[in-house]
Amino acid sequence: MLSTYADPNEEDLTPSDQALAEEFESPFIFTVSEFTKSLTSIIRSNFTSIWIKGEISDLAESALGHIYFKLKDEHALLQATVFKSQLVRNPALKANIVAGTIVECLGSLTFYEKRGSCQLLIQEIRSIGVGDLQLAFLAQREKFIKEGLFAPEHKQPLPLSATHIGIITSSTGAVISDMLNAFNKAAKHVYGTFALTLYDTPVQGSDAASGIVKQIKCAHKEGLADILVLARGGGSIEELAVFNNPAVVRAVALSTIPIISAIGHETDWVFTDEAADYRTSTPTAAAEHLLKNRARWIENILALRMVAHEQIRMKLRTLTYEIDRAAPYKLQSLLKNKINTHHHQLRLLRYACTRNLNALVQTSRNELSRLNQLLSSLAPQQILKRGYAAIEKDKTRITHAAALKKSDRITLIFQDDTHTADIR
């Protein structure tokens, strides 16, 4: 005889049975701290000594002597660190840490709970050879060299008499504010500053290359700028990739307006640095270099003015001496008239120089006022007043949607209040 099992109705369960049933049905829910501690324990228990193969990129050394880089292949990347203590114990280790090379690394994997990221703490490195990405980079560079895009003879000097600077960068980044601050600060110590034009374009992402090329063409069409500055802050190799883009490199190299490449930090190097007429380590350094050139130009003008005045004085002394030696009264009268003429010309020259310098100072003051207004309009509070809002997560400013995920708690900052929200 076939027997069957029937589920009891809820009415047949005691309160303690119902509570037990609900406990089994409910999933166990971790807090973030509980989960990351468990994950840390699992990683440290299972990956205390592991070999990992990859290509070195984004290599950097801290002031304390620690070395940081990324191990990557075509699909993924992993943060890696070599502490100074490890380098002291094994000095030969550093010789194998070269950007663009394929290496095999022995180390222990750790998980940093506050950042939510894994990192390989390296004990040993074996070099295998040059990586595919580095080989492609070198091949592209060789192609540019054969095209003559990096040829020194094609470089244009930066005109010392430049009065108008075009800045090719994003209007929403920190770079434009940093450069305006540099111009603003230095203008107080220099006779005059520059007229500035911002050529707004993305400097990262899929639209960046076409945007940069378009703005270089726009600057040539307008014909306002004496010098162009292509500027962007620091970033990873991937974030700076647009400045290795062939279309961008060719546009920079073929520009008839001198271009300064001001990309990233001192350690960053991209192809536009070689294609441009001049390279500075940072965007701020570009502004400072231009201001120094302008100060040198004005100093040269003032020096020439002093030389001209001295030559006129010397000529007048010579003529006066000749007059004193001349016996005939008519000759003396004629020469004195000539001296009077030179005195008049000298007064006119002094008047013209004074008027031009006053006009230059006034122009500089007007431009300084305009820069102050532009800088003020870019202040975060002013941007919020125009209807925008800033987003923060864990007191960290969010600038990319990829930094958020479902269930994240965020803070929306308006001009007059803040509100919290959850990402769904």
Beta pairing, strands 227-232 & 164-169: parallel
Q: In this predicted structure, what is the pLDDT of residue 5?
A: 36
Greatest mean pLDDT among 44-58, 63-77, 213-227, 331-345 lies in: 213-227
Q: DSSP strand E in 233-320: where?
A: 259-263, 278-279
* The pLDDT of residue 237 is above 80: no
Average pLDDT over residues 206-215: 94
Q: What backbone torsions phi and psi does residue 23 show, to the nearest 5 degrees? A: -65, -40
Q: In this predicted structure, what is the pLDDT of residue 170?
A: 92
Residue with tokens 């006779």: 191
Domain segments of the chain: what residues? Answer: 32-134, 146-292, 296-376, 382-422
Q: In this predicted structure, what is the pLDDT of residue 6?
A: 43
Q: In this predicted structure, what is the pLDDT of residue 332?
A: 65
DSSP 182-250: HHHHHHTTSS---EEEEEE--SSSTTHHHHHHHHHHHHHHH---SEEEEEE----TTTTGGGG-HHHHH
Average pLDDT over residues 84-91: 88
pLDDT tens-digit series, residues 104-120: 999 999 998 888 889 99
| Degrees to nearest 5, angle at CA 353 with 350 and 359 | 140
- Name the CATH superfamily housing domain 146-292: Response regulator (3.40.50.2300)
Q: In this predicted structure, what is the pLDDT of residue 113?
A: 87
Neighbours of 286 (CB within 10 A): 26
- Name the CATH superfamily housing domain 32-134: Nucleic acid-binding proteins (2.40.50.140)
* The pLDDT of residue 391 is above 50: yes
Average pLDDT over residues 217-228: 94
Q: In this predicted structure, what is the pLDDT of residue 15?
A: 63
Going by pLDDT thresholds of 50, 70 and 90, the confidence category of residue 12 is low
Half-sphere exposure of 423 (CA within 13 A, CB side): 15
Positive or negative torsion for Cα 260, 266, 272, 273: positive
Q: In this predicted structure, what is the pLDDT of residue 252?
A: 95
Q: Which residue type sits at 325?
A: R
Paired strand residues for 259: 228
pTM: 0.55
What rounded mean pLDDT belongs to the chain? Answer: 83
The answer to which of 73-77, 256-260, 267-271, 381-385 has the lowest mean pLDDT is: 381-385
Neighbours of 362 (CB within 10 A): 11
Q: In this predicted structure, what is the pLDDT of residue 1?
A: 32
DSSP 328: S
* The pLDDT of residue 7 is above 50: no
Q: In this predicted structure, what is the pLDDT of residue 404?
A: 82
